[in-house]
A and B are shown apart, each in its own frame.
Chain A
Amino acid sequence: MRETIVVFRRELRSYFLSPIAYVFGILLVSVLLYYVTEATLQNGARATAEPLFGTLPFMLVLFLPGLTMRLWAEERKLGTLELLMTFPVRTGQLVLGKFFACLAYLAIVLALTIGLPLTLGAYGKLDWTPVLGSYLASLLFAGSFVAVGMFWSSTTRDQMVAMLLSLVSLFVLYQLGNPQNIEYASGWMPAWLVDTVNGLSPHKYFVSIARGVLDTRDLVYFACFCGFFLYANALALETRRTKG
């Protein structure tokens, strides 16, 4: 636990010591607000933050690989991975520290979009329950994507490779849970197959929590999804010790 916190603190701080934190945060928030401002703030629009959270998943597909690609690949390239892995710390603690640091950083970035619901609340009657639910859902959703991206980063020393693998897998995961695709697929695929495929995607559970209904099953799903990829991540790092 103590070791995890030490790694967490160093990681989180390192985001703000490099330009990545600022460039990524500012770009993501600007692009998000650019897309949704028109839809939410025009005359006669409903006071709802739905457009923001409807756009967010796809933006994360585009942006997150750029953030997660460096997490392990860079350490490996610089050799600092050798340092980390010879500290008296279990690999799982390193993985968790890094994961939660990335998540904490994303929470800060997400918090920067709070201006939009605040503005809506000032001018209209905003129902805050789905908004808060959506923030939580976004964080969990982002976490599951970080787990995937971080896993790919642990498999290679080339950041570009990690980026491309993450981008493709996140895109596929996104599409599997995309409501439009589900609707289209149910037309010709057996229902159980649609459910199974759809049930794999964090996107589906994001939509569910974002409605403002907190179901334990959704939380369990996210815990399992992240747990699976974080475990695979630790395993990939451990395998390196054998392969050299």
Chain B
Amino acid sequence: MIKKIAGKIIGLIVILLILSFFVFLLLYLAPGDPAEKRLTSQGIVITKEVLQAEQERLGLLKPFFVRYGEWLLGVIRGDFGLSFKDDRPVAAKLAAGLQNTCILAMASLVFSLLISYPLALLSAMRKDRIADHIIKVFSFIGNSLPNFLISVLLMYFFCIKLNLFPVIADGSLKGLFLPMLSLSIPMISRFTRQMRSEMILQLSEDYVTGMRLRGVKERYIAVNIIRNSLGHVITIIGLQIGTLMAGSVVIETIFRWPGIGKLVMDSITSRDYPVIMGFVLVMGTIYVVINRLTDLCYHLLDPRVRT
């Protein structure tokens, strides 16, 4: 077991190294010279001497791998460099954004689970009845809606037509609701679909047939189904992390929620490369680590997979 975990950790480190290399390569291949970009974004007039001095200062004249090594060492120490725009450390900017994004993502995750779990149970217990069909149709439609469309439509109906919520999410609880809902709708649909099929699988197990034969009430069968499908929740959350990240970028931009997604969109507009790189690195790392952790949890929770 220990050997296996050690292997997994080494695998994780390799993947993260590849990610960091990819990110650095991306910046290296980016059109334009970072020194020039930096100077123009600060509104400094470029002369040959100024440019050369800036290139020297940023270490751009060193060979590729030396630069990669220095950059990587900095990243490991938590130093993501300085933002082109205002010379503030990228790490601080990212941390501030990440905090708000986590609030949004967690709220949506909890909300989605609270809604989709009972729906999936209802759908599975009443398979092929009216309730099941309705839930299936809605979860299918919800799954087909892009995040940006949901946000724009929700904003139109709730903020402009009904004037119930502020257009700009200001970090308050009321401002959180619409971004959370936009992020949740596709997620609820996916959770419901996946939970439903898992529960239907559980319902066809022998223990359910046994309980039915013994005349156990459906209510108690439902309790067992809930308990036995809980492990599956971790897997389906793990599957949604990527969607959650992509969705939060779009939604934060639309609702002006001060998260990491809005930060990266602003940085893309102003070509602030260190922030973009930091974003990919942080999100990629979170994604990889969460995926490995769900994998591990799955192994620990379900003895059958532990072979």
Do A and B associate with each other?
Answer: no
Q: A residues bordering B, Cβ < 8 Å?
A: none
